[in-house]
Amino acid sequence: MFSAEEQFPAVISFILSYVSGMRRYGQSVQTNIAYKHRPSVYGVILHGNEILLTHQAMPESEVQLPGGGIDAGESALQALHRECLEETGWKVQVDRRLGAYQRFTYMLDYEFWAQKICHIYLCRPIYKLQEPIEPFHTTVWTDTADALDLISNEGDRDFLQAALSFR
C-alpha cells in the first residue's frame, strides 16, 4: 500500500505549498510529475554597491546567487558556506535570513524534477580563499543595479531587490 504522498506527490506538494503560503516562482506545478523535494540555500552577498554572483556555464548558461542543495546531515548555514566556497572561492559572513520561496523545475544537471525550497540569506564577503572548484562556475562581481538584469531566476531577483530596499 502506498501513502497519499507516494501516489500523488505533485498534488501533496501543491497543497503543502498553498497552505504554507510560500511564494512560488517559475513553472506551474504539473500534476503528472513526481517532484523530488530539494531544500536549497542561496546568498545575497553584498559589498558596498557590488554583489558577488556566480556564472554557471553548463548545463545551461545562468548567472545566479551563489548556493545550492542542502546535503543530508548538513544545516542550511553549513550548506551556504560550502556552496559559496565551491562556486565563488569566497568565505562569507551570514548576517540574516531574508526568507524562502519555491520553484518547481527540471534540474538538468541531476536529471530529475524538483520542488526546490530556496532559503535566502543576506551575507557579506570576508575574503577570497581560492578559485571556484565547482565545475563550470566562475565568480562574477557586478554593480547591484546591473545584477537585477543579469540574474536568471525571478525569485533570486526579487530577494535581491528586497535586500537592497533594507539598505
In this prediction, residue 22 has a pLDDT band, given cuts at 50, 70 and 90, of confident
Assign 46 to helix, strand or coil: strand
The pLDDT, as a whole number, for residue 20 is: 57
pLDDT digits (tens, 9 = 90+) for 31-80: 999 999 999 999 999 999 999 999 999 988 999 999 999 999 999 999 99
pTM here is 0.85
Structural domains of the chain, ranges and CATH numbers in brackets: 4-165 (3.90.79.10)
Distances from the Cα of 103 to the Cα of 32, 69, 71, 87, 122, angstroms: 16, 13, 18, 21, 20
